[in-house]
Copies of this chain bind each other. A is one copy, B any other.
């Protein structure tokens, strides 16, 4: 069975798709009311974000577009110090999409949402012409506990920059799949909730956090340096990269500093908290290879201290990166 235009009609076929696939996996007391909008309640500060996912292939080593669409938005909320609570899911399905593939992706979303402790409370489905693929948009709401202020403008001289693990895995995985290269590289697609919670619960003075997605480490550190009106100095040798990803990059002339990841974050923390923060990150499921990779210094821009003792400017990503990576 495949998706056809009638599944986007708003009529009988849409209702069946809702019941047989979305309802089956996303069922909860809010969504099940099937109103025009979910009715919820909250008191205080919250984070609110959205992301669309267009990755191809839609299933890849280490994940799929469904898992990615939950992790991506959940991680964005976490980066603001919020506890992710609710998601919406908007599906744009291409005609010819196999229902069994859609079901696999929806099941993966539901599993990831459960792990992340979020409820999918509203959704929408449209059908367009195409080649049997799909796009997913998620938006999310996360509760921000009182007194928590995390933001790109908070960094000051001396702060240390930690990265939660190896760079380039997701990018190298998608590119390998796209090029038909057989290797062991898997996407790092993951929800960073337990890592962020552990840092914050242990009173690490976290100035800012960012997940290292499109644009890569180089672009993100430039945004932070800009917002905080400071400079950041990276130690090249401290950047963790898996050997197989390193080889892959060497062959294709890619730089892990500009590669997209889907389960990696950087945290900028007060200098005195650096060691403790690193130890906490390394305790977590996805933080085993965390490292201190840079320091905030006075000045402007981002610099790399190279292995050979030189220094080079690290600018934001120019050019096109890898299309449809997330």
Q: Which of B14, B36, B129 contacts A49 (CB 8 A)?
A: B36
Residues of B within 8 A of A80 (CB): 35-37, 39
B323 near A5 with CB under 8 A, answer yes
**A122 interface residue (CB < 8 Å to B):** yes
Residues of B within 8 A of A141 (CB): 48, 141
Q: Are B9 and A317 closer than 8 Å at their CB atoms? A: yes
From B41, B135, B215, give the contact of A45 (CB < 8 A).
B41
Overall SS of chain A's interface:
mixed
Interface residues of A (CB under 8 A from B): 4-6, 8-15, 33-54, 75-77, 79-80, 82, 86, 88-92, 121-124, 126-129, 135, 137, 139-142, 144, 151-152, 210-211, 213-216, 219, 223, 227, 258, 260, 316-324, 326
Q: Report whether B49 and A8 are in contact in the complex, using a CB–CB cutoff of 8 Å.
A: no
Q: A122–B50 contact, CB under 8 A? A: yes
Residues in B whose Cβ lies below 8 Å from that of A76: 36-37
Given A123-B50, A317-B10, also A36-B210 (CB < 8 A): yes
Give min CB distance, A60 to chain B, whole Å.
Answer: 17
- Please give 10 more A-B residue pairs, beta carbons under 8 A apart, in addition to A11-B214, A53-B126, A137-B139: A5-B320, A6-B319, A9-B214, A10-B317, A11-B215, A37-B77, A37-B140, A39-B46, A48-B88, A50-B122
